[in-house]
């Protein structure tokens, strides 16, 4: 579904399968935070108040048109602007000093950041959003690497999805940039808890290497007609 923000003139898209059906809801523009009202009520449904000729997916003109219904984290949906893609990140770390450092670094690197309060909250956000970067503390929510719900959610992802996500695992039991540990946990990068203050440089270098690899990989797939 294409959406236009009248406040800042931004255009972006939200996948249809991320929007709840037969609801009137609001979406927050990730660029200017303006609230945009949407109608996804299918014609013929009992709640459909629209005229027969109106579209199934219709942008409402303002809050007086209808009462918005907000789905979990729909207002934080991944957004694609024409000519500019907003990079999105999810942080799953309940260590307060880590949160502050990571948030500051991601802001500086140009990410639109969501902060998960609990593992369940993180899973809700992941179901309704697509992220470029997810940072997980192995002890998030009192868990460990073997029973961390966020990590367990990411590990079985199909490669077609997984290659578009850069995943970082922070923990006391990991060495920074330990490729074998990263491979065993199905993440892109491991960071020792002691190295979180240096995460800007570590993250920047690792993401640059990853982007360089996948650029060549995707170009090869295109040349062979596989994408």
Digit-coded pLDDT (tens) for 143-165: 998 999 999 999 999 987 888 89
Instruction: Locate the domains of the chain by residue range.
Output: 1-85, 86-223
Residue 175 CA to residue 203 CA, distance in Å, equals 14
pLDDT, position 227: 61
Give me the half-sphere count of Cα atoms (radius 13 Å) on the Cβ side of residue 114: 27
CATH 2.60.40.420 fits 86-223, yes or no: no
Res 74 pLDDT > 70: no
pLDDT, position 2: 79
Residue 221 CA to residue 74 CA, distance in Å, equals 33
Of the listed ranges 7-21, 31-45, 100-114, the one predicted with least confidence: 31-45
Which tokens go with 201? 């440089």
Q: Please name the residue that has the structure tokens 């808890």.
A: 193
pLDDT, position 65: 40
Q: Is residue 129 a contact partner of residue 113, using CB atoms and an 8 Å limit?
A: no
Who has greater pLDDT, 183 or 216? 183
Residue 141 CA to residue 8 CA, distance in Å, equals 38
Among 6, 129, 21, CA closest to 60: 6
Who has greater pLDDT, 111 or 217? 111
Confidence band (pLDDT; 50, 70, 90) for 85?
low
pLDDT (mean) for 122-132: 89
Which tokens go with 61? 């003109």
Of the listed ranges 23-37, 118-132, 170-184, the one predicted with least confidence: 23-37
Taking all residues of the chain, what is their mean pLDDT, rounded to a whole number? 78
pLDDT, position 76: 40
Of the listed ranges 127-131, 138-142, 163-167, the one predicted with least confidence: 127-131
pLDDT, position 11: 78
pTM, rounded to two decimals: 0.65
Of the listed ranges 53-57, 85-89, 110-114, 221-225, the one predicted with least confidence: 53-57
Res 31 pLDDT > 60: yes
């Amino acid at each position: 579904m294409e959406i236009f923000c009248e406040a800042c003139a931004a255009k972006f898209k939200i996948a249809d399968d991320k929007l709840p059906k037969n609801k009137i809801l609001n979406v927050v523009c990730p660029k200017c935070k303006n609230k945009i009202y949407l109608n996804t009520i299918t014609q013929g449904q009992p709640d459909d108040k629209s005229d027969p000729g109106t579209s199934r997916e219709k942008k409402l003109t303002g809050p007086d048109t209808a009462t918005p219904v907000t789905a979990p984290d729909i207002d934080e949906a991944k957004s694609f602007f024409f000519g500019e893609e907003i990079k999105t990140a999810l942080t799953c770390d309940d260590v307060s000093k880590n949160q502050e450092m990571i948030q500051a670094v991601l802001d500086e690197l140009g990410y639109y950041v969501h902060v998960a309060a609990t593992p369940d909250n993180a899973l809700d956000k992941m179901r309704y959003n697509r992220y470029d970067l997810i940072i997980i503390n192995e002890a998030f929510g009192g868990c460990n690497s073997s029973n961390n719900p966020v990590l367990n959610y990411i590990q079985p992802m199909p490669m077609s999805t997984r290659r578009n996500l850069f995943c970082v695992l922070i923990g006391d039991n990991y060495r920074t940039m330990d490729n074998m540990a990263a491979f065993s946990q199905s993440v892109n990068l491991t960071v020792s808890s002691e190295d979180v203050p240096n995460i800007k440089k570590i993250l920047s270098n690792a993401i640059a290497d990853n982007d360089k690899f996948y650029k060549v990989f995707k170009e090869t797939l295109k040349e062979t007609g596989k994408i």
